[in-house]
Amino acid sequence: MSQEEQPLGGGGTQSASAPGSGDAARHDDPRIVSRRWLLFKAAVGLNGLVGIVLAVPVFRYLLAPWRKDSSYDSWVSLGPIDSFPMAETRLAFYKNPSANSWDGQTDNVACYVRHAGGNQFQVFAINCAHLGCPVRWFPQSQLFMCPCHGGVYYADGSRAAGPPERGLFTYNWKVVSGELHIDAGQMPTLSNSAKLVKISLGQGDCSCRA
């Protein structure tokens, strides 16, 4: 203890050896030195062990969002099917199923519903298959256009022009008691939606006309 209480302003290195000057030889005793090192290593080991034990919950916490796609997705309603006129493509909105109260406006997700005829629908993600920018539907020319890098898609979602490698992402859908439901919950990207319906490169073979 006395070694740590050095006088203020004194030359620390000089006074350090003063209290133990009588038995200086003991400091060099290899047995004592190795015992101190052993204790030191044990203390380091203890910290390492505790560190590993603590790291497990920390990593578990950090990786919490890394979950299976299915744990995020669920069926949400886009409203009655009457609100989607035949042979037209309409913008629809839903609240993301896994919303937090502090998400603000960010959990208002948009998608495009194309009523292809009869009870057949196509529900397209708003996100361009290239880099996720919001595509806009132009009913006059029956095209989706992306404002970022110029991806263009035909009415059936197939690629028409620009950098995307594939057609628009689609959601799985079903009609439940007159309402259109889609399986949604994630931002569609190549890593999760490519597994869904893949639309090949098209030539605009859509039968619809505005």
Partner 1 sequence: MPRVSPPHGQEPVRGGPGTAKRVYAWFEQRLQLEGPVKDAALHPVPRSTASWWYVFGSAAFTLLLLQIVTGVLLALVYVPSAGEAWSSLNVLNHQIPLGWFLRALHGWGSNFMVAIVLIHMAQVFLFGAYKFPRELTWILGVFLLLMTLGMAFTGQVLRFDQDAYWGLGIGASILSRVPFIGGGLVHLLLGGPIIAGATLSRFFALHVFIIPGALLVFALLHIWMVLKLGINDWPMPGRLVRRATYMEEYNRLAHEDGIPFIPGAFWKDLAFSGAILAAVAVCAYVLGPFGPSGQPDPSIIQTVPKPDFFFLWIYTVLSYLPPEMETPFILIAPLIGIAILLAIPFWAGEGEKSWHRRPVAVLAVSTIAICFAVLTQLGTSTPWSPHMSAWSGDPIPVRYLQTATPLVRQGAVVFQAKQCRNCHSIGGAGGERGPALDDVATRMTLDQMRFKVVSGGGNMPAYGKNLSAAEIEALVSFLETLHPANEPPAYDASRRAVDESRSQPNAGAPPANPAANRGTNP
Partner 2 sequence: MRFTASALLACGAALLGGCGHTPGYPPNPILRPTAVTDFATLYSQNCAACHGANGQNGPSIDLANPEYQALVDDATLRKWISGGMPGTEMPAFAESQGGMLTDAQVNALIAGMRRQWSRPDAFGGTAPPAYAQTAVGDPHRGEASYEAHCAICHAATHEQGHEQVTSPMYLALVGDQALRTIMIAGRPDIGQPDWRHDGPGGKAGVPLSTQDVDDIGTYLASLRTMGQQVTTGTSSAQAKSAAPAGR
Residues at the interface with partner 1 (CB under 8 A): 8-9, 62-63, 65-67, 69, 72, 91, 93, 96, 98-100, 102-110, 126-127, 130-136, 138, 140-143, 145-150, 152, 154, 160-165, 185-187, 189-192, 203-207, 209-210
CB 180 within 8 A of CB 77: yes
Span near partner 2 by CB under 8 A; candidates 14-22, 84-92, 163-171, 199-207: 84-92
* Residue 196 interacts with, from partner 1, partner 2, none (CB under 5-8 Å by kind): none
Nearest Cα residue to 112 out of 74, 140, 141, 143: 143
Q: How many CB atoms lie within 10 A of CB 19?
A: 10
How many residues can be counted in the chain?
A: 210
Which residue, 81 or 187, is less far from partner 1 as judged by CB? 187
Nearest Cα residue to 91 out of 109, 72, 117: 109
Ramachandran sector of residue 157 (left: φ over 0; alpha: ψ -120 to 50; beta: rest): left
∠ CA 120-121-125, rounded to 5°: 160
Which residue, 88 or 183, is less far from partner 2 as judged by CB? 88
Which residue, 34 or 77, is less far from partner 1 as judged by CB? 77
Binding status of residue 140 toward partner 2 by CB under 8 A: yes
Per-residue binding letters, 100-139, with partner 2 (x by CB under 8 A): -------------------------------------x-x
Which residue, 31 or 209, is less far from partner 2 as judged by CB? 209
Amino acid, single-letter form, for residue 104: G
Span near partner 2 by CB under 8 A; candidates 36-44, 74-82, 87-95, 156-164: 87-95
Binding status of residue 96 toward partner 2 by CB under 8 A: no
Report in angstroms the alpha-carbon separations of 201 from 82, 87, 98.
31, 21, 33
Out of 75, 76, 87, 90, the only residue in the binding site for partner 2 (CB under 8 A) is 90
Amino acid, single-letter form, for residue 197: V
Radius of gyration of the chain (CA): 33
Site residues, partner 2 (CB under 8 A): 88-91, 137, 139-140
